[in-house]
Amino acid sequence: MVTLQSLFEKDKESFLNTLKAQSDTASMIKAADSAVSRILFKFNEQEESERVKAAAYSILSTVRTSLNLIDSYGETKIYSREEYRKQEKKTGHSPLFWVLLGVGCACAVGAFVLLLFSVRAISMVINLPVFLVLLAAGMVCLFFSGMNFHTQGKQKQSEIQTETVSDPDKIYKHLLGIMLTVDHLLADVRTEEMIDARHELEKDKDGMNQKELALLSQLLEDAYTDKNSDLAMETISHIKYYLHNRRIETVDYSKEDHAWFDILPGEGGTLRPALVMDNALLKKGLAAGGRL
């Protein structure tokens, strides 16, 4: 008996390779939908029961509609190492800060001292370029030392680009679990169908179904008496096929199934097969000699 699970397991490599070749989740959903449709088509080709086919189509249609859940991602938060780590209090400053601060203060003090000792106008004119250079150098050094101080107190921010992609192996495992669940549901459908068919046959001993069963059993008995002819073998094949489509199997005599047969003296083996549905006897068979 074919199952969705076995068909999907046979298609595993092709399914995974197709998913891994997709560049985004939307493409993966389309690939998964095509795979489910393909499995359903293969299943229907091998399944004989129309009721089971209809149930499989209905259930897998719901599964196909639910495939969009693959893309149900919530908000993704990414924390860099600098952002996540608590900001530690700094107990000191970098050497660059102290160098710039010292040079800036020295230049400023030097300019002030030069200005203080340049009392005469002539001295002031001579020392003016030196004064301006010292003053400018002090201002630049103090400015950069302040920038360094501000940068040390600022927390680093890092820009991170993320992309979320579905895992093909997880998709396969989840779908395989779904196929297994659907197989259990379809097994229940098959059981219900067999029970309904058996009840239909057994509901009235004098009804048309019992008469039909007796007629087919008699036709099989007539054909079994002339197994060497092509017409008899063809008749047996057609009747067995007809009964099989109605979930009824023909069973030839064996020691294990002797309770399903009426035994006649003599030789000959199976004279009429027993008719059985779901391991329950519907019509006794007939055998000769108690052995094949």
**Length reported for the chain:** 292
- Round the average pLDDT of the chain to a whole number and report it: 76
Whether the pLDDT of residue 285 is over 80: the answer is yes
pLDDT (0 to 100) of residue 258: 84
Tokens of 201: 């046959």
Cβ pair 216, 243 in contact under 8 A? yes
> 85: how many CB neighbours lie within 10 A of its CB?
11
Cβ pair 71, 25 in contact under 8 A? yes
pLDDT (0 to 100) of residue 264: 86
DSSP-derived secondary structure letter, 90:
P
- Residue 32 burial (CB < 10 Å; 0-12/13-18/19+)? buried
Query: Can you give the pTM of this predicted structure?
Result: 0.47
pLDDT (0 to 100) of residue 257: 84
Whether the pLDDT of residue 206 is over 50: the answer is no
Rg of the chain on CA atoms, in Å? 46
Cβ pair 25, 166 in contact under 8 A? yes
- Express each pLDDT in 50-80 by its tens digit: 889 999 999 999 888 888 877 766 556 565 5
d(CA 269, CA 176): 47
What is the residue-wise DSSP string for 71-100? G---------HHHHSPPPPPSS--HHHHHH
> 236: how many CB neighbours lie within 10 A of its CB?
19
